[in-house]
A and B are shown apart, each in its own frame.
Chain A
């Protein structure tokens, strides 16, 4: 039946996915295993996106299915997934001056589907709030997404503050959004930049897998 869930999700059949999950729960299946099946489906979505078989619309749609599944399963999962068992912890927000969140929300869902714990700080986030969240959570990844150029200053200030607080060396900073490119990455002092949601997830996975390697490897 896991295969059926995966197939239904890849076929973009929201109701079918939800019905199958309901059936599984009714017969006593482990909710964590169901979540894992959905995560596997999302991995497949990512692969198909990278090959061009899927488009952003499929990412949006499948992310919505995954959100609905997670919301349904969450009460049954409490206590079964501790943060230290997650793939890693990420602080994510739209920097101060920008209130857009569509891209951020899609990437957050994909990151969660990949097993990351994501702390979503929302939009128009001041630099100090990013620092505070990093300190409070011990997260080692900071992701910022923006679509208007005034966000450059906020990104730059946030990264400067990271240095002031001695957090820069142990924080992987990734930026994205339509107004970012490599020039922006370099200018604001980030480690990585992407416009591709799944590449963003992949870069975070790689960082977690190779934490010991200096930031320069990602530039």
Chain B
């Protein structure tokens, strides 16, 4: 074991500030994995969130503990009656899906091309106040009740975790503006819109950006956790050329980052898909204030070359490796990450996106143990 010379939270914050703490901080993104690991079905967890929370804490202990719990449970904390994310339809295990299936989203059009003008004139929040019931058949006030109940649960769970010395990270998750619109229209239809009615899309985005930022900040005012998980997936160079990124993702992301940093909130850029082409832009964001969270698709070693001494990187033990690989293979990969991406600091060892539901326990444990025991080549005696 590497002797620990700082607290879990300080270790984590040091990495974000591009320092090299006593050891590499480690924090798998756990959602569905603890449920299965503790012998519950996903359906049971969704029906009984207290049991799901217990499974999270037990899994944390079974894994020997790690630096921060990204969030406490299977749900995401939300602000009553407002949307930080596209109000997508989720399929819940035991309800719309088999009892032990993984929760999935059903991507359908939530608004039409004709709605862009309306959004442009009244903004994101006002649009959903009138539109949510039409697409869901549920009242917004009823949804707000559920959201508020979940928020109370989240606050309780944060209290329990912190009493046990486990820092909780997540203040709020917010879709990037492009991500929110793409989910609302579906990737295919949104792409058609970008080609055919780009000005309408931009006007609606312009009118939505501040609402999304404010919704996120208002949520953080309740959770009191100054970290915003910005869901970025569909604006990457894996999908769109840079001209589209420059017009429909980057300006809004800059506005997000400026607003969050001004409010002393850390932007955690959750970068699913391959962002290799876009990484150089991130050097224009404030130094040592954000995290580039990679999912195993972007070349993390190349990302380090680009973002070295500018932005903390987290990632990226890939899902196939955690599910199908051996502990030895996980060990080799994590050591490589620590040696190359961890060199000089500014690195957090995490799963590439969410830890898979069917990851092998010994693989996840190995990932955590390596962070605690392997100092990296530079520090070896």
Task: Give A153 to B107 CA distance when docked, in angstroms.
Answer: 24
Which residues of chain A have C-beta atoms less than 8 A from B195's C-beta?
12, 14, 57, 61
Does A61 contact B320, Cβ atoms closer than 8 Å?
A: no
Does B324 contact A183, Cβ atoms closer than 8 Å?
A: yes
Identify the stretch in A22-30, A95-103, A110-118, A127-135 within 8 Å (CB) of chain B at 4 or more residues.
A95-103
Within residues 124 to 159 of chain A, which ones have a CB less than 8 A from any CB in chain B?
148-150, 152-153
Which residues of chain A have C-beta atoms less than 8 A from B319's C-beta?
149, 179
Within residues 231 to 275 of chain B, which ones have a CB less than 8 A from any CB in chain A?
237-241, 244, 273
Task: Give A152 to B191 CA distance when docked, in angstroms.
Answer: 30
Does A57 contact B320, Cβ atoms closer than 8 Å?
A: no
Does A57 contact B102, Cβ atoms closer than 8 Å?
A: no
Minimum CB–CB distance from A195 to chain B (whole Å) comes to: 8
Does A102 contact B188, Cβ atoms closer than 8 Å?
A: yes
Which residues of chain A have C-beta atoms less than 8 A from B356's C-beta?
148-149, 179
Contact mask for chain A residues 149-192; partner B; CB cutoff 8 A; 1 contact, 0 none:
11011000000000000000000000000111101100100000
Which residues of chain A have C-beta atoms less than 8 A from B240's C-beta?
55-57
B358 interfacial contact with A, CB 8 Å: yes
Which residues of chain B have C-beta atoms less than 8 A from A97's C-beta?
101-102
Count of A-B contacts judged by CB separation below 8 Å: 75
Task: Give A97 to B100 CA distance when docked, in angstroms.
Answer: 10
Does A56 contact B239, Cβ atoms closer than 8 Å?
A: yes
Does A150 contact B324, Cβ atoms closer than 8 Å?
A: no
B104 interfacial contact with A, CB 8 Å: yes
B187 interfacial contact with A, CB 8 Å: yes
Which residues of chain A have C-beta atoms less than 8 A from B318's C-beta?
181
Contact mask for chain A residues 67-106; partner B; CB cutoff 8 A; 1 contact, 0 none:
0000000000000000000000000000001111010010
Partner of B188, one of A60, A149, A181: A60
Contact mask for chain B residues 195-219; partner A; CB cutoff 8 A; 1 contact, 0 none:
1100000000000000000000000
Task: Give A169 to B323 CA distance when docked, in angstroms.
Answer: 27
Are A152 and B324 CB-contacts (below 8 A) given A99-B106, A178-B297?
yes
Minimum CB–CB distance from A78 to chain B (whole Å) comes to: 27
Minimum CB–CB distance from B236 to chain A (whole Å) comes to: 9
Which residues of chain B have C-beta atoms less than 8 A from A64's C-beta?
188, 192
Does A100 contact B192, Cβ atoms closer than 8 Å?
A: no
Are A55 and B320 CB-contacts (below 8 A) given A60-B188, A150-B357?
no
How many residues on A have C-beta within 8 angstroms of the other chain's C-beta atoms?
Answer: 26
Does B239 contact A152, Cβ atoms closer than 8 Å?
A: no
Minimum CB–CB distance from B146 to chain A (whole Å) comes to: 23
Does B244 contact A57, Cβ atoms closer than 8 Å?
A: yes
Contact mask for chain A residues 29-59; partner B; CB cutoff 8 A; 1 contact, 0 none:
0000000000000000000000000011100
Does A57 contact B321, Cβ atoms closer than 8 Å?
A: no
Which residues of chain B have C-beta atoms less than 8 A from A105's C-beta?
188
Minimum CB–CB distance from A64 to chain B (whole Å) comes to: 6
Chain A residue with the shortest CB-CB distance to B91: A99
Does B102 contact A181, Cβ atoms closer than 8 Å?
A: no
Does A149 contact B196, Cβ atoms closer than 8 Å?
A: no
Which residues of chain B have C-beta atoms less than 8 A from A61's C-beta?
191-192, 195
B194 interfacial contact with A, CB 8 Å: yes
Task: Give A187 to B325 CA distance when docked, in angstroms.
Answer: 9
Contact mask for chain B residues 101-116; partner A; CB cutoff 8 A; 1 contact, 0 none:
1101011000000000
Does B237 contact A55, Cβ atoms closer than 8 Å?
A: yes
Contact mask for chain B residues 299-333; partner A; CB cutoff 8 A; 1 contact, 0 none:
00000000000000000001111011100000000
Are A149 and B358 CB-contacts (below 8 A) given A57-B244, A64-B192, A178-B297?
yes
Task: Give A103 to B356 CA distance when docked, in angstroms.
Answer: 20
Which residues of chain A have C-beta atoms less than 8 A from B325's C-beta?
183
Task: Give A61 to B318 CA distance when docked, in angstroms.
Answer: 30
Does B188 contact A150, Cβ atoms closer than 8 Å?
A: no
Does A187 contact B241, Cβ atoms closer than 8 Å?
A: no
Minimum CB–CB distance from A61 to chain B (whole Å) comes to: 5
Chain A residue with the shortest CB-CB distance to B238: A56
Chain A residue with the shortest CB-CB distance to B187: A102
Chain A residue with the shortest CB-CB distance to B323: A149
Does A149 contact B237, Cβ atoms closer than 8 Å?
A: no
Are A148 and B323 CB-contacts (below 8 A) given A61-B191, A61-B195?
no
Does A55 contact B241, Cβ atoms closer than 8 Å?
A: yes
Contact mask for chain B residues 87-105; partner A; CB cutoff 8 A; 1 contact, 0 none:
0000100000000011010
Task: Give A142 to B242 CA distance when docked, in angstroms.
Answer: 35
Does A152 contact B323, Cβ atoms closer than 8 Å?
A: yes
Within residues 153 to 179 of chain B, which ones have a CB less than 8 A from any CB in chain A?
none
Does A14 contact B196, Cβ atoms closer than 8 Å?
A: yes
Task: Give A6 to B188 CA distance when docked, in angstroms.
Answer: 21
Chain B residue with the shortest CB-CB distance to A99: B104
Task: Give A57 to B247 CA distance when docked, in angstroms.
Answer: 15
Does B324 contact A184, Cβ atoms closer than 8 Å?
A: yes
A/B interface sample: 9 pairs, CB < 8 A: A14-B192, A55-B240, A57-B239, A57-B240, A60-B187, A61-B195, A97-B102, A149-B357, A152-B358
Give chain B's interface residues, CB within 8 Å of chain A. Answer: 91, 101-102, 104, 106-107, 186-188, 191-192, 194-196, 237-241, 244, 273, 297, 318-321, 323-325, 356-359
Give chain A's interface residues, CB within 8 Å of chain B. Answer: 12, 14, 55-57, 60-61, 64, 97-100, 102, 105, 148-150, 152-153, 178-181, 183-184, 187
Q: Which 7 A-B pairs have the closest CB atoms?
A: A149-B356, A56-B239, A60-B191, A149-B323, A187-B324, A57-B240, A57-B191
Given contacts A61-B195, A102-B186, A179-B319, 6 further A-B contacts (CB under 8 A): A55-B237, A55-B241, A57-B240, A97-B101, A149-B320, A184-B320
